[in-house]
Amino acid sequence: MTDFSEILTKNEKMLSVIAVAKKISTSDISILINGESGVGKKMMASAIHTGSQRTKAPFVVVNCSAIPPSLMEAELFGSSKSSKGEIIRGKFELAQNGTIFLDEIHCLNAESQAKLFQTIETKQFAKADGDLLSDVNVRIIASTSEDLIGKVEQNEFRMDLYYRLREMILDIPSLQDRKEDIPLLIDSFIKQYTKDFGKKISGISDVALNFLVNHDWNENVLELRNVIRTAVALCEKNKIWLEDIPLKMELGKEDNTSSDIMTLESFALKDVEKNHILKTLNHCRWNKSKAAKLLKVSRPRLDRKILEYDLKKPDKKKKKIKNDSI
């Protein structure tokens, strides 16, 4: 189980979300958590459960996107008989007196939406193939990575169910919008996996850290966690270096000077450093002081590296002449 102290952040918006979550954790109101895939919606739901009066009761997770529509009702509410003749307990029954977390709630089909709404309204449910009603006492926390109100407007999700689920909405920002948290998360993951793998890794190099901070994390914290886990496994020194990171480096992304994508394995360490410095300089429009700050090196050291690698500022005049001649 997770508590709020385990959600690492310096981001003001994320801190605000946590503050609200703490306030409502002790109540029984339904919560809808919005956020992209991998931002930590399950972790937030778990922390809310831990901070609630139901903390000693079960916290049951249902990944709605992983359950076939034909099995959804039996998964949620159970079945009188399985293929082996056994009674199957549904997730609502398993979560009795605790919290049920319905992850990716937008994946529920129409029949399951209707039965879920009825269960919330009456606080009773019947098994998928039965008529006998059972009382249910659970707190519902739902999440979605999609625009649920848009699905309501398109008649893909019940409006009455939507408003029953969203007594309080929590919007978790993407990792792209809370980049100041990346070093905190990296440090935590390194400590975790260093212990798990029995290694002695003290941290991460400045160049590698800067690369990770500026990477586009499409799968958010989940992707970052997996990358650091692999990097720790690959690392053979006392610090993670750029060549340990299992990501593709996209060169010239900010300035559109190149569309080449090269894996880190294809670079010698000097080539990685050279291209990383050039990428940073282009990103800063060759403002060397700003680039040195991003690279976490002194300005004289950056000047030496520019000379060493014979890095040249793009000639805008040539580009303009070329464009004018087309």
CATH number (domain holding residue 313): 1.10.8.60
- Residue 32 is predicted with a pLDDT of 98
Per the domain annotation, does 230 fall within a domain?
A: yes
Considering the domain architecture, whether residues 88 and 64 belong to the same structural domain is answered as yes
The structural domain count of the chain equals: 2
Domain that holds residue 60: 4-173
Those residues with Cβ within 8 angstroms of residue 17's Cβ, 6 or more apart along the chain or in another chain: 44, 170, 171, 172, 173
Residue 245 DSSP code: -
How many degrees, rounded to 5, is the angle at CA 81 between CA 75 and CA 85?
Answer: 125
Considering the domain architecture, whether residues 169 and 270 belong to the same structural domain is answered as no
Per the domain annotation, does 323 fall within a domain?
A: no
CA separation for the pair 253, 266 (Å, rounded): 18
Considering the domain architecture, whether residues 121 and 169 belong to the same structural domain is answered as yes
Per the domain annotation, does 188 fall within a domain?
A: yes
Considering the domain architecture, whether residues 190 and 167 belong to the same structural domain is answered as no
- Residue 309 is predicted with a pLDDT of 87
CATH code where residue 43 lies: 3.40.50.300
Residues 54-101: tens digit of each pLDDT: 999 999 999 999 999 999 999 999 987 666 667 788 999 999 999 999
Per-residue DSSP letters for 156-206?
A: SS-HHHHHHH-SEEEEPPPGGG-GGGHHHHHHHHHHHHHHHHT----EE-H
pLDDT band for position 258 (50/70/90)? Answer: very low
Considering the domain architecture, whether residues 257 and 130 belong to the same structural domain is answered as no
Tell me: pLDDT of 200 over 70: yes
Per the domain annotation, does 325 fall within a domain?
A: no
Considering the domain architecture, whether residues 162 and 94 belong to the same structural domain is answered as yes
CA separation for the pair 3, 44 (Å, rounded): 8
Residue 105 DSSP code: G
Query: What own/partner pairs with CB < 8 Å and gap ≥ 24 does 22-26 have?
Result: 22/51, 24/48, 24/168, 25/49, 25/50, 25/51, 25/52, 26/51, 26/52, 26/53
* pTM (2 d.p.): 0.76
Residues 206-250: tens digit of each pLDDT: 989 999 998 989 899 999 999 999 999 999 999 999 888 987 644
Per the domain annotation, does 40 fall within a domain?
A: yes
Considering the domain architecture, whether residues 214 and 123 belong to the same structural domain is answered as no
